[in-house]
Structure 1
Amino acid sequence: MILLKLLLWIPTIIISINILVLFIECLSALWFKNKDNGDNQAVNTDYRLIIPAHNEASCLGKTLESLVTQVNQPEQILVIADNCTDATAVIAREYGVTVVERFNTEKRGKGYALAYGLQQLEANPPEVVLFFDADCLVGENTVKELTQKAIATGKPIQALYLMEKPEQPTPKDTISAFAFLVKNWVRPLGLTTLGLPCLLTGTGMAFPWGVINQVSLDHGNIVEDMQLGIDVALAGYPPLFLPTAKVIGILPQKEQISTQQRKRWEHGHLQTIITQVPTLIKGAMTQLSFPLLSLALELSVPPLSLLVMFWGLTLILTVGGGLLLGIWLPALVLILAGLLLFIAIITAWAKFAQKEIPLKSLILIPVYLLSKVTIYFNFLGKRESQWVKTQRD
C-alpha cells in the first residue's frame, strides 16, 4: 500500500510544484515596473559583439543591418563564419565588420564558435562581450542597454528574445509563438519582479569579460545558452533579465524545419533538466544561495506543452488510484494545480499576447500537444544529442 501511495504522490508533488512555479511567475509578471536603466548616459564602455554564423548567407545581412547602427565602429562586431560553405563570410565583410573563418569538422556547434570568438579577443579583451545569433533582428538601443546593465550589475544580462510568426502561420505556429512568449518573456519578467535571476535564452546576451572568462563554451551542447546560464550562475553570477532590450527571431515556415528546431530545443531542455537541476540544488545548498534554488525550480519546469501532458496523465493516474484504492487527495491536489495552470496561461495571454494571438487559437492547444507527442517519445529512444543547424526556409 505504501508503494502505491508513493506512486500516486511523487508525480503529483512534482507536477504541482512545477505548476506552482509557473503560476507565481505569470502572476508576478503583472506587477513588473520598468526602472530607469540610465539610457541617457553615454556608453564609454569598451565592448565587442560576437555573432556565430554557419551558412547564414540568407539572413546574416538583415541581422548586421540591425546592429551596425548601434556600434561605434563596425569592427566591434566579430562574425565567426563557422565551417561555412556559402557566402556568409563575403556578406559579413560587405558591412565592414570583423570576420574570422573557422574550419573544424570535429567540433561543430554554436558553443565551439563562441569559444573561438572569445579566443580572438583574449589579447585585448573588452569590458563587455555580447552574443547575437545570425538570424535575428536586434531592437533599437539594445546593444547600449545590455552593455550598460552588464557594467552596472557586473552580471550576465539577457535581452527579451521573442519569435515572430511566419507570414503564413499555421495554428501550430500561433500556439508555438505563444509558448515561446511565455517562456522567454512572461516567466523571466515574473522572476525579475521577484528580484530573482533568469535563464539565458540563446541570443541577445551581454557578459562582463571577467564573468564570461570563468566558464567554458568549448562544447557541443545542443542548448548551449541554457547551459551557459547555469554555469555562470554556479560561478556566482546569476543572469538578469532586461525586457527593454529586444531581439526578434522568426519561426521557420516549413513544417519539417520547424519540427527539427523544436526537437533540438525540447530534447536539450529535458536533458538539461535531468542533469542540471540536481547540480543547481547542490550548489544552492553548498553556497546557501536562494538565487540558485530559484533557478533550479525555474529549470525544473518542462516545456509548457509537456507540462500540460504530464498534468493530464498524472490526473488520470490519481483518479484511477481514487477509484481503486479510495485515495482521492492526490487527484484533488492535481485538480487545484490544473486550475492554477489554467489561470497562469489565461493571465499570460490576456496581458502579453491578446493583441497578437486570438483567444480562439488557445482552443487548438490540444491539437498542438498531439503534434508534439512524437518529439517527446523520440526523447526516450532517438534522443537529439548532437548540435544540428536549423535549416533555413
Structure 2
Amino acid sequence: MFALMYSYKIVYMFIAFKAKKNNKPEVQNDNPYKYAVIVAARNEELVIGQLIKSIKNQKYPKELIDIFVIADNCTDNTALVAMQEGAIVRERFNKDQVGKGYALDEMFKIIEKEYSSRKYDGYFVFDADNLLDENYIAEMNKTFNRGYRVITSYRKSKNYDQNWISAGYALWFLHEAEYLNLPRMVLNSSCAISGTGFLVHTDLIKENGGWIHHLLTEDIEFSVSQIIKGEKIGYCKSAMFYDEQPITFRQSWNQRLRWAKGFYQVFAKYGKDLVGGIFKGKRNRLSCFDMTMTIMPVLLVSCISLVTNGLFYLAGFLGLFEGKEIIDVTTSAMLRSVGGYYVLLFLVGFITTLTEWGEIHCSGWKKIAYTITFPLFMFTYLPIAIVALFKDVEWKPIAHTVVKSIDDVR
C-alpha cells in the first residue's frame, strides 16, 4: 500500500528528465520589483559578512534591494559585522520565544512599522551561512513576475566534500530541487520551501498577520498552511544559492531530530485539512496529496516493521513456532528489505549525482563515493524518527564555520 502511495515520485523523476531535456531559459521580464532581504542570525559573525557581500554583488538594481539582519539572542559580534557590511540591523533578546520563526516575525513587524514608506514588493529569507549566485535575485524576479507569491530556489552546498554527512544533506537537497520541485512546477502543482532561500510576497505576509508559524519546522508548516489555502508555491531552478551542512553526527542528529519532531507536529496540526483537501479541493488536490505524503510519518511504518520482525524473532527463540524456520524466514525477509531500500536510495542518489554533476563542487571520486554512502545517511533517519516520537525536542543552534566567498565555493 505504501509503495503504491509513493510511486508517484517515480513519475516525478521521468517528468524531471523530460523537463531537463527541454529546458528553456525563462523569458526576461522588464518589471523589476523592490525587495527586502531578511536574515535571522544567531552567533554568525564568521559567515554573515560573506552572505551580505554576495547580496550586494547581485546583478540587479542596487536601489531595489535592502538588507535587514535580526541578530537573535547573539552573544558574539554578529550585529556589528552585519552593520559594518551595510545591513540594517536590529537585535533581539528573548529567551522564552526561541526560534527562527519568532525572529522573522519581529523583523517583519519592524519593517512594517519603520520602513513601510519603502513599499517592498516581496521579502527574501536567508540563513546567515548562505551565499548567493550573482544572478540569484534577477532570476527569482522573473518567476515573481509570473504571479507566484511564494518561490523557492536551487540549493547547493558550500561544503559538499567535507564528509559523508555533509554530502548526504547536500545530495538530498539537490534531489529535492530537481526531482520534486521541478516536476511540481511542470504539473502546475505546488512546491515547498525548505528552510532558507525563498521569496514571499509582501501581501501574503500582511494577510497572515506576520510570520505566525512557530512549530519546530516553521518552513514546512508555512508551506502546508499555504497549500491548504490554495496558494501555489513556485520554484526557480536558475536561482542558485549555497548553504553549509553539518559535518558531525551529533550536529546532524540534533538537527534532524528537530525536523522529525516538527513533521509530527505539522501532521498533527494540519493532517486532517490536508487529507480533506485531497477529496474536497478543486484545484490543489495533487498538492494536498503530495504534501500529505511528505509530512506523513512514513518512517514509523518502517519502525513498526522492525518491531514486528523482532516479535517473530522472539517467538522463534521462545519456541512458539518452528524456531529455526521462522528465524530463517524472518532474517531472509529483513535482508531482502534492507537490500531493496539500499538499492532504491542508491539509484536516487546516483541519478541525482549524474544529472547535477556540474553543480556539485568536489572531486569526481568523492561524488561517486558519497553516492554509495548516501543510503546509509538516509537509513540514520530510522532511529531519529523513533526517538523524536517520544522525546521533547527544542531548537538548538548549529555553529557555522565554513568561511568562503562565492568565488571560493566555485
Counterpart position of 2:35: 47
Deviation at 1:64, TM superposition (A): 0.5
- Measured after TM superposition, the shift of residue 116 of structure 1 is 1.3
In 2, are the aligned partners of 1:76 and 1:97 still within 8 Å (CA)? yes
1:296 matched to 2:291: yes
CA distance in 2, matches of 1:311, 1:240: 35
Deviation sequence 1:339-378 (CA, Å, 0-9, x none): 8777555433432359765445444356435544432221
Report the CA distance shift for 1:263/1:164 in structure 2 as closer, same or farther (over 3 A).
Answer: farther
What is the percentage of aligned positions where both structures have the same residue?
Answer: 23
Contact 2:215 2:266 in 1 (8 A): no
- Tell me, yes or no, if structure 1 residue 21 matches structure 2 residue 30: no
2:26 is the alignment partner of 1:37:
yes
2:56 corresponds to which residue?
Answer: 68
Q: SS in structure 1 opposite 2:207? A: coil
Work out the CA distance in 1 between the residues paired with 2:307 and 2:344: 16
SS in 2 for 1:132: strand
Which blocks of at least 5 consecutive residues in structure 1 are unaligned?
1-12, 325-330
**CA shift in 2, pair 1:61/1:21, >3 Å:** same
Aligned partner (choices 80, 94, 109) of residue 90 of structure 1:
80
1:381 Cα offset (Å): 1.9
Structure 2 residue matching 1:91: 3-state secondary structure: helix
Aligned 8 A contact 1:151 1:208 in 2:
no
Partner of 1:130: 124
Corresponding residue pairs, total:
368
Match of 1:57 among 16, 36, 45: 45
How far apart are 1:298 and its partner, in Å? 4.9
1:351 equivalenced with 2:355 (yes/no): yes
For residues 83 and 129 of structure 2, the distance between their equivalents in structure 1, rounded to whole angstroms, comes to 17
Query: Using a 3 Å threshold, how does the CA distance of structure 1 residues 313 and 275 change in structure 2: closer, same or farther?
Result: farther
Aligned-partner Cα distance in 2 for 1:130–1:17: 34
SS, match of residue 247 in structure 1: strand
Unaligned runs of 5+ in 2: 314-324, 327-332, 402-410
Tell me how far apart the structure 2 counterparts of residues 270 and 203 of structure 1 sit (CA, whole Å). 20
SS at match of 1:214: helix
Is this contact kept in 2: 1:163–1:249, CA < 8 A? Answer: yes
Aligned equivalents of 1:360, 1:374: Cα separation in 2: 24
Note the 1:294-373 alignment, pairs <5 A.
294-300=289-295, 306=299, 313=306, 344-353=348-357, 358-365=367-374, 367-369=376-378, 371-373=380-382
Letter in 1 for 2:351: T
Q: Structure 1 stretch 246-255 or stretch 57-66: which is displaced more?
A: 246-255
Is residue 253 of structure 2 the alignment partner of residue 259 of structure 1?
Answer: yes
- Per-residue CA shift, 1:202-225, capped at 9, x if unaligned? 212112211222225234322111
TM-score by length of 1: 0.80
Written as runs of structure 1 = structure 2, the 5 A alignment for 1:104-253 is 104-122=94-112, 123-124=116-117, 125-165=119-159, 169-215=162-208, 216-253=210-247
Contact 1:212 1:232 (C-alpha < 8 Å) held by counterparts: no
1:21 touches 1:298 (CA, 8 Å); kept in 2? no
Residue 112 of structure 1 contacts residue 217 of structure 1 at CA under 8 Å; is this kept in 2?
yes
TM-score w.r.t. the length of structure 2 is 0.77
What CA deviation, in whole Å up to 9, does each residue of 1:269-328 have, x standing for no partner? Answer: 34434543432222344432334334434524668xx599569859969x99xx99xxxx
Deviation of 1:66 (Å): 0.6
* Mapped partners of 1:392, 1:358: distance in 2: 23
| Greater RCO, 1 or 2 (C-alpha within 8 Å, sep 6+) | 1
Structure 1 44/210 Cα, relative in aligned 2: closer, same or farther at 3 Å?
same
Other-structure match for 1:103? 93
SS of alignment partner, residue 228 of structure 1: helix
Query: What secondary structure, in the 3-state scheme, does the structure 1 residue paired with 2:127 have?
Result: coil
Q: Check the 8 A contact 2:152/2:236 in 1, yes or no.
A: yes
Q: Deviations over 1:228-254 (max 9, x none)?
A: 112222233220111110111111233
Shift, 1:27, TM fit: 2.3
